[in-house]
Each structure stands twice: as C-alpha cells, then as structure tokens.
Chain A
Amino acid sequence: DAGVIQSPRHEVTEMGQEVTLRCKPISGHDYLFWYRQTMMRGLELLIYFNNNVPIDDSGMPEDRFSAKMPNASFSTLKIQPSEPRDSAVYFCASTYTGLRSTDTQYFGPGTRLTVL
C-alpha cells in the first residue's frame, strides 16, 4: 500500500484565499484524522471521521475550517478565508479498527501551509 497520501505537500497562499487540503487514507481503514502541528500549540486533533461520518470536530478552531469525507478514500480540509495564523503543517492519519487491528494511526507526510 502507498500509505496515507496528502496533497499538496506545500501550499503558499495569500490571506483571504480559500485553501483545500486533500487526503487519501489507506485502503480499508475506517477512521480518518486531521491534525495540525505548530510550534506554539504542538500537535492538535482537528476532526476525525469513522466510516466517513464526522465523530468529533471540537478541535476545529473556527467556522472558517470545514472538513468533509465524501467517501472512504478521500477527505478534504478547507479553510475559507485563510489567515496568517493558519500557517502550520496539517497531517492526515488513518487507522483500521476491525479484526487484526493494531491500533496504529498511520500518518501522511503532511501539508505545509503558509498564509502570507
């Protein structure tokens, strides 16, 4: 398997623009997580899905952030409008919880977002 795939790897945008981050989880995984990593706040869980349904979005910082998972193989995290304080590395992770689960979250390489 190719692992968790995220795109783009780097994104530079101007304040006020819409940003869409994409994630393809590992095939067969039933949980998907979005994290944000900053120097100030470390790794924060933003939202996670189980079987494409959002379970907990209490970590989403503001209404400017939204996430969707239209099917088991794709999720997006959208920021509209973006602000400089949104600059961070955004990670997607997935895990499988059925039989033979190892309770391991597999992380993608991250998207480094810079908002000017």
Chain B
Amino acid sequence: AQSVTQPDIHITVSEGASLELRCNYSYGATPYLFWYVQSPGQGLQLLLKYFSGDTLVQGIKGFEAEFKRSQSSFNLRKPSVHWSDAAEYFCAVYTGRRALTFGSGTRLQVQP
C-alpha cells in the first residue's frame, strides 16, 4: 500500500536560516507527490507538486522540492525562512483516482 513518512514531527529554525523538511514515500509506480501547508486554524494549501520531468520543482512562497527516486524521497526546501512560514507541512501522494494519502505532518516553528 502507498504510504508517506515524515520523520520530523517538529522543527525549529531561526528566521533567515535555510530549511529542509523530509518526506519519504512508498509506492510501486512513479508517484505523484505533493507538499501542502496548513496555517493554524486554516485548511490546506498546495505548495508544489511533482508528476514527471524535472526532478526539482518550484512552488509558491519560495519553496522547492527535489524528487529522488533512488532514495524514495521528496524533500521540501527553502533557502531563507520567514516568520510567516511557521505552519504545519504535509507531504502527500496520489493513491489512485486523485485520492491523497498524507504524511503525519511536520510542524515548523520560526525563531526571531
């Protein structure tokens, strides 16, 4: 069965520092991968997605992610974090007919 693992439950970074959030997937075929962000009390918003082609994908808010098939990973990165990036981040994979399976999420805290 398809699954997504986010090994870091909680990450704290200083404002201006770089960020990398980890995501590993388990899927038999080429996965369709997504990163969503959830601000407190809000629904989820799509940051970026990977379907095929260039393994480095750019998203909104300065985020990018790199698909590495050999490592079954799709890590999210940002070179310089802003205080407004504090939120919970979810990695997800299509599990057929556009249903999403989400990871458990990583909560990002940004220190001034």
Q: Are B51 and A109 in contact (CB under 8 A)?
A: no
Chain B's interface size range is: 20 to 34
B43 sits at the interface (CB 8 A):
yes
Q: Are A45 and B99 in contact (CB under 8 A)?
A: yes
Which chain B residues border A42 with CB–CB below 8 Å? 102-105
B32 sits at the interface (CB 8 A):
yes
Q: Are A103 and B43 in contact (CB under 8 A)?
A: no
Q: Are B45 and A107 in contact (CB under 8 A)?
A: yes
Which chain A residues border B41 with CB–CB below 8 Å? 109
Q: Are A97 and B98 in contact (CB under 8 A)?
A: yes
Q: Which B53-112 residues sit within 8 Å CB-CB of chain A?
A: 90, 97-105
Q: Which A19-50 residues sit within 8 Å CB-CB of chain B?
A: 31, 33, 42-43, 45, 48, 50
Q: Are B99 and A91 in contact (CB under 8 A)?
A: no
Q: Are B44 and A103 in contact (CB under 8 A)?
A: no
Query: Measured between alpha carbons, how far is A112 from B36 in the docked complex, in Å?
Result: 20
Pick from B44, B99, B103: contact of A107, CB under 8 Å: B44
As a 0/1 sequence over residues 28 to 54 of chain B, the CB contacts with chain A under 8 angstroms (1 = contact) are 000010001000011111100101000
With contacts A42-B105, A91-B43 taken as known, whether A33 is within 8 angstroms of B99 at the C-beta atoms is: yes
Which chain A residues border B104 with CB–CB below 8 Å? 42
Query: Measured between alpha carbons, how far is A103 from B99 in the docked complex, in Å?
Result: 11
Would you give the shortest CB distance from A47 to chain B, in whole angstroms? 10
With contacts A48-B99, A56-B99 taken as known, whether A109 is within 8 angstroms of B46 at the C-beta atoms is: no
A12 sits at the interface (CB 8 A):
no
* Residues of A near any B CB (own CB < 8 A): 4, 31, 33, 42-43, 45, 48, 50, 55-56, 91, 93, 95, 97, 103-105, 107-110
Top-9 shortest CB links A-B? A107-B43, A43-B102, A107-B44, A42-B104, A104-B46, A109-B43, A108-B43, A45-B99, A110-B43
* Residues of B near any A CB (own CB < 8 A): 32, 36, 41-46, 49, 51, 90, 97-105
Given A42-B102, A45-B101, A91-B43, 9 extra CB contacts under 8 A: A42-B104, A43-B102, A93-B43, A95-B98, A97-B98, A104-B49, A105-B46, A109-B43, A110-B43
